[in-house]
């Protein structure tokens, strides 16, 4: 697979075209940001850890019947992925109260949510990713009703698979966000699933093992990511 020109540069990943019109190369960088880019840093090894973490998770989801964007691990920091027409909507599931849910509703951090909550957000940094509903999505043409139902069903399937995976490793999957795109007519899980886009706590100590360590200045960010990766079986 021949890597060609840079197609898109995000806050922590770069996307490159290839000699195959249906495939891209996704590069995970060491860049780390929070609060819509207001807090930025470089963390050694983070790109490598997230690339391998993401590949491992996507393999687990594929085996469980969730179609994903990732095709192959190319190097420590690069993966070969399908070229998707991304849907500008984030699907968020919360198994415990944390982050913006606590701030919005005044509930206690760590409160178990049964059943888990589901929320949609518009993926738009300039607007700070506002919460939206199904009516907005349909009215503005971001996705059809059928696509919405597919995204919701897949998001809860991911919850079932990964909650079990992390529980076996002594971890709580607190919440996470997913992004989907179209590969032809098929809804496919895109972007990434790493500690950058979810909350993971140690089940016994409730220590935070995710990007909140960076947001809250707790330190040991990459070390926490590596610890989670090793506990679930990722080879770094």
- The 10s digit of each residue's pLDDT in 79-104 is 999 999 999 999 999 999 999 999 99
Q: Is residue 97 part of a domain?
A: yes
Residues 45 and 106 in one domain: no
Question: What are the φ/ψ torsions at residue 45 (nearest 5 degrees)?
Answer: 80, -10
For residues 136 and 121, the answer to whether their CB atoms sit within 8 Å is no
Give me the domain span that covers residue 70.
3-82
> What is residue 185's predicted lDDT score, i.e. its pLDDT?
96
Phi, psi of 67 (to 5 degrees): -70, 130
In this predicted structure, what is the pLDDT of residue 38? 79
d(C-alpha 50, C-alpha 28), whole Å: 7
Distance CA 121, CA 200 (A): 20
Residue 34: what pLDDT? 87
Nearest Cα to Cα of residue 132 among 100, 88, 196: 88
| Residue 37 pLDDT | 73
Q: Where does residue 137 fall: left (phi above 0), alpha (psi -120 to 50 degrees), or beta otherwise?
A: alpha
User: Has residue 233 been placed in a domain?
Assistant: no
CA distance 196 to 229: 13
Supply the pLDDT for residue 36.
74
Q: In the 8-state DSSP scheme, what is residue 184?
A: T
Q: Which residues of the chain have pLDDT under 50?
A: none
Specify the pTM. Answer: 0.96
Residue 203 belongs to domain with CATH number: 3.30.470.20
**Same domain assignment for residues 92 and 16:** no
The confidence score (pLDDT) of residue 212 equals 96
Number of domains in the chain: 2
Residue 181: predicted pLDDT: 98
């Amino acid at each position: 697979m021949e890597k060609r020109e840079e197609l898109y540069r995000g806050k922590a990943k770069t996307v490159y075209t290839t000699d195959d019109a249906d495939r891209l190369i996704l590069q995970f960088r060491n860049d780390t940001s929070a609060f819509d880019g207001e807090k930025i840093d470089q963390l050694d090894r983070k790109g490598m850890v997230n690339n391998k973490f993401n590949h491992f998770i996507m393999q687990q989801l594929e085996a469980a019947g969730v179609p994903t964007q990732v095709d192959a691990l190319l190097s420590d920091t690069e993966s070969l992925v399908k070229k998707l027409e991304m849907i500008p909507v984030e699907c968020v599931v919360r198994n415990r109260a944390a982050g913006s849910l606590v701030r919005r509703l005044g509930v206690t951090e760590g409160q178990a949510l049964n059943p888990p909550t589901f929320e949609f957000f518009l993926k738009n940094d300039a607007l700070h990713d506002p919460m939206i509903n199904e009516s907005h999505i349909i009215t503005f043409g971001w996705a059809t009703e059928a696509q919405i139902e597919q995204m919701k069903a897949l998001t809860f399937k991911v919850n079932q698979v990964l909650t079990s995976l992390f529980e076996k490793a002594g971890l709580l999957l607190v919440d996470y966000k997913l992004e989907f795109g179209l590969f032809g007519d098929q809804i496919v899980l895109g972007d990434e699933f790493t500690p950058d886009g979810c909350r993971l706590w140690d089940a016994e100590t409730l220590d935070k093992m995710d990007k909140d360590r960076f947001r809250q200045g707790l330190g040991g960010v990459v070390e926490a990511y590596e610890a989670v990766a090793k506990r679930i079986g990722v080879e770094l």
